[in-house]
Amino acid sequence: MYALLGARAAAQRDLSVARIVERHVSSYLCGAYLGADVGTVPSVICQDTGTLVGYGSERILKSPLTGGPVRSWRLEMDGKFITPRQIHDSFYGRAHIAFGWAAKDKALAVPWDKLPEYFSSVIKDARKLYGPGERQLAYILGWITHVIGDGLIKSVAPGLDLHLLDGKYTPANRPIQDLVTFHEIGIKELKLDWLSLLSDLVDCPIEPVQAHYMRVGQAQGHLGNKFKAGWEPQDLNLLMEVMAENRRYQRIRNSRILKQLALKKTKVGLQCDQILSERANGLKYGEMLELANKANFRHALWQMGEVIAEIFEEIVRLTPEMNEVWIGDKPNWKEIGSKWRK
């Protein structure tokens, strides 16, 4: 949602990045999700069914499917086994760049005011190092919205006014944010087809530039010159395997997410999944809507879109070649017809 709102705000400002996003929206949204959340891997395996369940390094003792035993999931590579926790510690901070680093690597975090310079360097390198084409640019732009959106909602940087239930971003208010965003804003107001968006997202290919902006590989290009510290070439093959697993597992998760966010008609109105209700301190869906309206949740999302567009604008200023992107609707059909119909 942050990415979609940021794109609309950028279009309102007539920024060139909006045209790239419009032509490659699936890659944009893939970057906004899997371009940052590299911890999208299973936690455990249900021993009764052999099904992958859980998310990343969360602790699961019993199968959510059968209540039976589980065994740990690990990524096998070159005879070694890598746990979800190791994947998180190795790559989460590298993908989010401004926060989320393991304790030993915190010095590698990029200050918030340096992010536009970092983003601009990545974009400048994309075509030079990884070939022509806009798709990877859309992926980078999506990743940027994730870094900015996470930074704002998690109070890494100022710019977002929100107090919903018990804070800005808490385990108890996340179900409220997710449900209201999905139904009231996404489906009712923006007319989004979540099933299509999520399905197209996971079919997007791995973009090698992701390893570059995570500083996994050899230091090179503008980014390597300006941000010299923290490059890890020995982890490149592992990261490529993790990115492939991200896409495989998200295909499984898509239907689970849609099922859990679905509303059910009852005698007392629409109600949400019981687990989500319990996480939100027992609130029912109608009560969640009241709280979201009271907290002016839509205003917070508007602020999110505005900040993303502001940073897009700064990136375009630092990267003037972004204004040279192909304009696909010029000349328009009327202009063509005035010359060709004769």
One digit per residue, the tens of pLDDT, for the chain of length 342 reads 999 999 999 999 999 999 999 999 999 999 999 999 999 999 999 999 999 999 999 999 999 999 999 999 999 999 999 999 999 999 999 999 999 999 999 999 999 999 999 999 999 999 999 998 899 999 999 999 999 999 999 999 989 999 999 999 999 999 999 999 999 999 999 999 999 999 999 999 999 999 999 999 999 999 999 999 999 999 999 999 999 999 999 999 999 999 999 999 999 899 999 999 999 999 999 999 999 999 999 999 999 999 999 999 999 999 999 988 777 777 889 999 999 998
Residue 32 lies in a domain: no
Cα-Cα-Cα-Cα torsion 184, 190, 120, 151, nearest 10 degrees, comes to -10
Distance CA 99, CA 101 (A): 6
Residue 185 lies in a domain: yes
Residue 121 lies in a domain: yes
Terminal alpha carbon distance of the chain:
47
Residue 104 lies in a domain: no
**3-state percent helix, strand, coil for the chain, nearest multiple of 5:** 60, 5, 35
CB 47 within 8 A of CB 65: no
Residue 62 lies in a domain: no
Domain count, the chain: 1
Distance CA 270, CA 268 (A): 7
Q: List the one residue out of 3, 316, 302 whose CA is nearest residue 149.
A: 3
Residue 329 lies in a domain: no
Q: Which domain holds residue 159?
A: 2-25+110-322
The distance from CA 29 to its chain's CA centroid, rounded to whole angstroms, is 7
β-pair type (75-77, 70-72): unpaired
CA-angle at 159, arms to 158 and 165, nearest 5°: 90
Distance set, CA 145 to CA 5, 138, 339 (Å):
10, 11, 42
Residue 78 lies in a domain: no
Residue 49 lies in a domain: no
